[in-house]
Amino acid sequence: MTPARGALPDPGEWVDLYGDLLFRYALTRVADPELARDLVQEALLAAVQARGSFSGRSAPATWLVGILKHKIIDHFRRTAREAPSDGRDPEPDLFEPDGRWRAGPQQWRTDPALVMDRHEFWRALRGCLAELPPRQAGVFVLRELEGLETGEICQVFGVTPTNAWVLLHRARLGLRQCLERAGFRAAGEESSR
Amino acid sequence: MMTCREAARAASQALDGPLPLRRRLGLALHLSMCRACARYVREVRALHRLLQEWARRADAPAGAVDTRLSPEDRERIRRALLEAAGSA
């Protein structure tokens, strides 16, 4: 079904061939279905304009994902401008003033590494990402899913490396806490202290 | 001695780049003595590795979302593409 590398199908066929793949890719990163859909359309329209430059060295799907990735980064750059606040700091909820854990992180009931294919986990993760403050979510997605280095993230968000680390740390604390609430934690007696 | 709050910060930063030696040693020492932090770090690292592995499979995000574009969206995007292709 999917054409081999080297040949780019007619744009009229792109939605059927790659629409769902691109939509899933975007939805995993931006959580909002309408926004994901718009980013897919934006990327495909950009690809129509750029199709003369398709070299055939990569598969069409890979080439299209690359264009979508740029649209997603552009989206986060806009988010960064529109949401200048770093968002809630989860540290005061999680730590005593002297720096000890308040309740101690509970052990996850399910090791996420063992549930790679479990829809349940990815749905929970997506829900938790959507709950993070926009800048924290954006920095986290670009770092963990797109694999951007700290330096690139600083450019997209217009922040210093220290600020980027603070945002990433807050995102990880918040995300972990949210996943724990979603049921990825130990039952009762394992709670520490 | 590093506090738990500071250990959690250092553990996060270590996922994004090398830590200065002093901090790296302080973190290792803390983790060797604190079960709660060791557990936290294990889970945050697991999540980090899991997401990296998952992101590498860009063409098939395993079980990520079972969602598809709606028929209306497909039709709308298809038309937009044909129009753009025609005028390009």
What stretches in chain A show pLDDT beneath 70? Answer: 1-6, 104-119, 184-193
Kindly list the distances between the CA atom of residue A184 and the CA atoms of A102, A192, B9, B44, in Å, as whole numbers in the listed order: 19, 15, 22, 13
Q: What is the ipTM of this complex?
A: 0.84
Q: What are phi and psi of A101, to 5 degrees?
A: -60, 140
CB contact under 8 A, A12 and B78: yes
pLDDT value for B5: 96
> Are the C-beta atoms of residues A136 and A170 closer than 8 Å to each other?
yes
Q: Which residues of chain A does B63 touch, with a Cβ-Cβ cutoff of 8 Å? A: 116-119, 121-122
pLDDT confidence of residue B59: 47
What is the rounded CA–CA span in Å between residue A163 and residue A166? Answer: 5
More confident residue, B28 or B40: B28
Q: What residues 19-78 of chain B have any CB closer than 8 A to a CB of chain A?
A: 35-37, 39-40, 43-44, 46-55, 58-59, 61-69, 73-74, 76-78
Q: By three-state DSSP, how is residue A101 classified?
A: strand
The closest of A159, A24, A48 to B61, measured between CA atoms, is A24
Residues 6+ positions from A186 with CB-CB distance below 8 Å: A106, A107, A108, A109
Distances A90 to A34, A95, A133, A180, A188 between C-alpha atoms, Å: 29, 9, 11, 14, 23
Query: What digits encode the pLDDT tens for the residues B17-38?
Result: 999 999 999 999 999 999 999 9
pLDDT of residue A118: 59
Q: What are the structural domains of chain A?
A: 11-82 (1.10.1740), 91-190 (1.10.10.10)
